[in-house]
Amino acid sequence: MDRLRIVQIGSGNVATHLSKALKDAGHHIVQVVGRSLENAQALGTQLGTAFTNSLAQLDSEADLYIISVADGDIPNVASLLPKLSGVVVHTSGSTPMETLKNTSDRCGVFYPLQTFSKLRDISLKGVPFCIEATDRDVVKTLSKVAQSIGGVPVEMDSQQRRWLHLMGVMSCNFVNHLFRISQEVGQSQGIGFSILKPLVEETISKAFDNGPEKSQTGPAVRGDLDTMGRHLEMLVDFDGRWKEIYGLLSKSIMKAGGMSPDKLDI
Amino acid sequence: MDRLRIVQIGSGNVATHLSKALKDAGHHIVQVVGRSLENAQALGTQLGTAFTNSLAQLDSEADLYIISVADGDIPNVASLLPKLSGVVVHTSGSTPMETLKNTSDRCGVFYPLQTFSKLRDISLKGVPFCIEATDRDVVKTLSKVAQSIGGVPVEMDSQQRRWLHLMGVMSCNFVNHLFRISQEVGQSQGIGFSILKPLVEETISKAFDNGPEKSQTGPAVRGDLDTMGRHLEMLVDFDGRWKEIYGLLSKSIMKAGGMSPDKLDI
């Protein structure tokens, strides 16, 4: 594998996990650029490399620039970069490649479909890296970089990636929020969240083995209005949105199962 | 372990998985009673045991009667049973033990917190069995039965079990429905659902390792109104409820994260 000289722009969750994995894979992170000097220093020190909070001090000789900043800040960072000869990519699911067009003749997207949190080491093994680039050579380079850290390169244009990001929000972010609601409901009754683990693990295995359309169980798909009604009553003492969430998801399940959702009175 | 003589009442998903596991563990399933003779015969034949669709032909000499029928049918089944000397239990999360009080002086609940589907073998290893009973002896008996099939007995009263069932609906049934929406959204763009597997697996691991309240990621918890707005637009061509689900869950995440949910315009 070619070892690349890489500049990491951004010092948050994605930047931290990605640049550590790249370093471990033998690439040379030549510089970390962060908006806050403190965060850039923290990551630069971890990686044993240079850091700065000024794009004016950017190392212009790198092979690859990886922009991992908040989605809304990507256009601004792109507008502040000089024209570079290296490859410039961002790691965002919902930002078009187009946003980077003035930064380099060779730009692209390098979007890891994974959820990153500080204080949690995660393996990138098997993680899909959605890749898009201005030309085939850059696609090849980015694919090799993904493979070098255990990822699975998947070619995808900006349009498809936007949809994949929406799928990820629903299947990861929304799922975690349902867990949080379950946890709080359980806490109110002295029931720990961890008791749900075998159930949740089987839910996931089943959905990926058999497909979610064949895996639906529970009161809504059975049309069990009594149980749903009791659950709705139990939720009245919590945030009003939780009851709405229960009602709306139940109705959506009923509809998907061929029932009339109007039977559920909420 | 004591090998029990067991009558299985009901022949659906739960009855099938449970009675097979009990037989494999060395218990003697002496009879299957089903509402439909066809289903009772199918399960009875699989288990190599007697079957009937008539409660009048019930074997009255068994040690344990397990009622695994639709929640709404439990009161009716209970009212049709003669007074029995064996232990009588149901396997429902949301039905009080009280419902069985006229069937035996020794009754209880034996609720496996798991999602069961036909055509899918699942292990009961590590699955919590929520147990409630009229006396300590019956609690002990049911705990041993749970352990004999690899389950983890957890003592819980009818009130707590009702809440646990609600938690299960949110963390299993609703989660599966979010997967189904993701799948359909992906299909419309030629993106397979399976690409989400590493993301979902990490979501689950993180939630159980670190707690869901510390694991929330995504546009809503970042207050990224642009991305949420674009996602809402992308959903307009689907079932109107999906857009509502996106908006409601995003607002609920924003609120849990200390933001004003009203900032999201839906």
CB B28: neighbour CB atoms within 10 A? 14
Q: Is B120 exposed, middle or buried (0-12, 13-18, 19+ CB in 10 A)?
A: middle
pLDDT tens-digit profile of A95-104?
999 999 999 9
A5 phi and psi angles, rounded to 5 deg: -95, 115
pLDDT tens-digit profile of B140-188?
999 999 999 999 999 999 999 999 999 999 999 999 999 999 999 999 9
Amino acid at position B257, single letter: G
ipTM of the complex: 0.92
* Size of the A and B interface in Cβ pairs below 8 Å: 324
Question: Measured between alpha carbons, how far is B253 from B247 in angstroms, rounded to an integer?
Answer: 10
The predicted pLDDT at position B1 comes to 60
In three-state secondary structure terms, B109 is strand
Q: Which residues share a beta bridge with A33?
A: A9, A52
Question: Measured between alpha carbons, how far is A39 from A57 in angstroms, rounded to an integer?
Answer: 16
The answer to whether A212 contacts B168, with C-beta atoms less than 8 Å apart, is no
The structure's pTM equals 0.92
pLDDT tens-digit profile of A194-252?
999 999 999 999 999 999 999 999 999 999 999 999 999 999 999 999 999 999 999 99
CB A81: neighbour CB atoms within 10 A? 19
Q: Which residue of B lies nearest to A220 if distances are taken between CA atoms?
A: B173
A28 contacts A4 by C-beta, under 8 angstroms: yes
Contacts of A148 (CB under 8 A, 6+ apart): A1, A22, A25, A26, A27
Exposure class string for B155-181: b at 16+ Cβ within 10 A, else e = ebebebbbbbbbbbbbbbbbbbbbbbb
Q: Does residue B104 surpass a pLDDT of 70?
A: yes
A225 contacts A266 by C-beta, under 8 angstroms: no
pLDDT tens-digit profile of A55-95?
999 999 999 999 999 999 999 999 999 999 999 999 999 89
> Which strands sit side by side in the sheet containing A5-9, from one edge to the other?
A50-52, A28-33, A5-9, A64-67, A87-90, A107-112, A128-133, A152-155
Q: Which residue of B lies nearest to A130 if distances are taken between CA atoms?
A: B195
The answer to whether B213 contacts A185, with C-beta atoms less than 8 Å apart, is no
Amino acid at position B10, single letter: G
A62 Cα to chain B: minimum distance (Å): 30
The predicted pLDDT at position A182 comes to 98
